[in-house]
């Protein structure tokens, strides 16, 4: 089921000139949901923001909690927005609906599994009639649990010991900050 | 988050001596460390210290070994990570080279001499007393490195002087008696002893009485026959090589 609704090709107008500084959006036809465009193993739930407004929105799922902050802005190219997650979630994919179709920002495919905790300048497809982004109809955040990065160190208390000494190791595991926006 | 570490060498038993969350870690089978830390919050850490339950023993088979292995940490939402560390176990050795001078043949190995190391008056055991072989060597290994002991010749071969005790420091680097490294070398000489017996006997019994008095090269008396008598006999034992003088007095 995942990504079954993707229809954009290199010849598809939806795929034209929609570059961002990091992850390139992919045009998808119609009004896809997270389940239409995201592998079920890659996300936990969908958070749909409609109408699209700036703000911080609480999120929860099976005991996990967090929030996503959306900041909408009007750019020379049209409406765009930034997002930033806090807490237990990241965005595996983001569907940005505007006009007849949508843009898919796929952070899994871009190599940022389990997802991105923040990104900027997301927008709907381009309206070919004016070469500006369609207005934001709604945003679907397809949320995954934020991944942790562990760091482990094992050190000998004394690297050289002799008779009468005890061998000892110190082991420390640190959970690093959650994964950041793709860079 | 979990931690797993197959700690080195099953001959050694390990124990958890400190952990950030009491009860999170345990060691089974002597060397399998497992920690179940639960949820580890971002930017937080968990630490555990493990050590062997008993110190490295005298004569340990671990001498010269490197205790080396890898620890793994894993979490449901993170990739497994690992790290390794190693500990070198080094032990000191002392080799006693026992010899004696043989007239016309220089220094020769001397077998049958027993040596014991002492630390603060306590015999180092194992290995206890070590006896020189035909090569004149008595070797101690499995000792702490760079440590001073008192070396005592606790069994002296018959016919030789015993060597005085001396302070000896074990090798600073790893060494053993099987050819690994360089033990501390100690040369110990045994001096062969001579017994002397002299007798003055009158050809006509009772016609003369005699005495014998012997001194060393410093003039120090080393034995005499006692009052005038017939016969007069002196027995002196354990004479080290040297020059001695005996004065014979025959009366009248």
Rg (CA), chain A: 21
For residues B87 and B68, give the distance between their C-alpha atoms in angstroms, rounded to a whole number.
6
B19: its two tokens: 């952990």
CB pair distance less than 8 Å for A148 and B77: yes
- A62–B contact, CB cutoff 8 A: no
Q: How many beta-carbon contacts under 8 Å exist across A and B?
A: 144
Per residue of chain A (183 residues), give pLDDT as tens. 333 333 333 333 333 333 344 688 999 999 999 999 999 999 999 999 999 999 999 999 988 889 999 999 999 999 999 999 988 899 999 999 999 999 999 999 988 878 888 999 999 999 999 999 999 999 999 999 887 788 999 999 999 999 999 999 999 999 875 544 343
For residues B93 and B179, give the distance between their C-alpha atoms in angstroms, rounded to a whole number.
11
- A111–B contact, CB cutoff 8 A: no
User: How much is the pTM?
Assistant: 0.68
Q: What is the pLDDT of residue B43?
A: 75
- A171–B contact, CB cutoff 8 A: yes
Q: What is the pLDDT of residue B10?
A: 64
Q: What is the pLDDT of residue A181?
A: 39
CB pair distance less than 8 Å for A152 and B50: no
Taking CA atoms, B120 is separated from A137, B57, B147, B152, in Å, by 88, 18, 12, 13
ipTM: 0.83
CB pair distance less than 8 Å for B37 and A162: no
Q: Which one-letter DSSP state was computed for residue B8? A: S
Distance from CA of B189 to the nearest CA of A (A): 30
Q: What is the pLDDT of residue A1?
A: 32
E strand or H helix that includes residue A34? helix A34-37
Specify whether the backbone of B106 is left (phi greater than 0), alpha (psi in -120 to 50) or beta. Answer: left
B147: its two tokens: 């440590």
pLDDT along chain B (252 residues), means of 10: 88 93 94 92 88 94 92 85 95 95 86 95 92 96 96 94 94 95 94 94 94 96 96 95 95 84
Specify whether the backbone of B185 is left (phi greater than 0), alpha (psi in -120 to 50) or beta. Answer: beta
Instruction: Answer whether the bond into residue B62 is a cis peptide, omega within 30°.
Output: no
Q: Between B17, B37, B85, which is nearest A156 by CB?
A: B85
Whether residue B50 contacts residue B17, with contact meaning beta carbons closer than 8 Å, is answered with yes
Q: What is the pLDDT of residue A3?
A: 36
Taking CA atoms, B199 is separated from B172, B233, B234, B243, B250, in Å, by 57, 4, 6, 19, 12
For residues B237 and B223, give the distance between their C-alpha atoms in angstroms, rounded to a whole number.
9
């Amino acid at each position: 089921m995942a990504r079954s609704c993707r229809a954009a090709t290199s010849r598809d107008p939806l795929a034209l000139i929609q570059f961002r500084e990091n992850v390139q959006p992919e045009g998808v036809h119609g009004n896809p949901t997270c389940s239409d465009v995201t592998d079920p193993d890659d996300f936990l739930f969908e958070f749909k923001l409609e109408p699209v407004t700036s703000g911080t929105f609480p999120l929860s799922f099976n005991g996990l909690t967090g929030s996503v902050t959306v900041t909408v802005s009007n750019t020379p190219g049209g409406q765009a927005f930034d997002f930033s997650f806090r807490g237990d979630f990241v965005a595996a994919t983001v569907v940005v609906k505007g006009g007849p179709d949508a843009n898919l920002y796929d952070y899994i495919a871009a190599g940022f599994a389990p997802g991105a905790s923040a990104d900027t300048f997301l927008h709907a497809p381009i309206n070919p009639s004016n070469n500006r982004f369609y207005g934001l109809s709604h945003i679907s955040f397809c949320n995954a649990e934020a991944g942790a990065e562990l760091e482990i160190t094992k050190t000998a208390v004394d690297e050289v010991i002799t008779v009468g000494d005890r061998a000892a190791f110190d082991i420390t595991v640190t959970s690093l900050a959650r994964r950041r926006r793709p860079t | 988050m979990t931690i797993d570490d197959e700690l080195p060498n099953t001959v050694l038993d390990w124990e958890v001596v400190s952990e950030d969350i009491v009860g999170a870690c345990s060691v089974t089978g002597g060397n399998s460390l497992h920690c179940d830390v639960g949820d580890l919050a971002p930017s937080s850490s968990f630490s555990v210290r493990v050590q062997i339950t008993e110190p490295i023993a005298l004569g340990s088979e671990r001498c010269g070994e490197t205790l080396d292995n890898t620890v793994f940490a894993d979490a449901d939402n993170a990739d497994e990570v690992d790290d390794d560390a190693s500990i070198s176990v080094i032990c000191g050795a002392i080799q006693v080279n026992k010899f004696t001078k043989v007239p016309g043949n220089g220094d020769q190995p001397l077998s049958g001499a027993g040596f014991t190391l002492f630390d603060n008056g306590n015999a180092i055991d194992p290995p206890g007393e070590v006896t020189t072989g035909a090569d004149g060597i008595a070797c101690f290994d499995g000792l702490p490195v760079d440590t001073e002991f008192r070396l005592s010749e606790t069994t002296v071969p018959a016919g030789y002087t015993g060597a005085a005790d001396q302070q000896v420091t074990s090798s600073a680097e790893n060494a053993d008696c099987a050819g690994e490294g360089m033990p501390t070398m100690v040369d110990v000489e045994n001096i062969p002893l001579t017994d002397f017996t002299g007798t003055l006997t009158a050809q006509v019994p009772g016609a003369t009485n005699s005495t014998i008095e012997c001194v060393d090269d410093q003039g120090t008396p080393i034995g005499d026959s006692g009052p005038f008598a017939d016969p007069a006999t002196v027995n002196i034992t354990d004479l080290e090589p040297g020059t001695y003088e005996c004065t014979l007095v025959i009366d009248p």
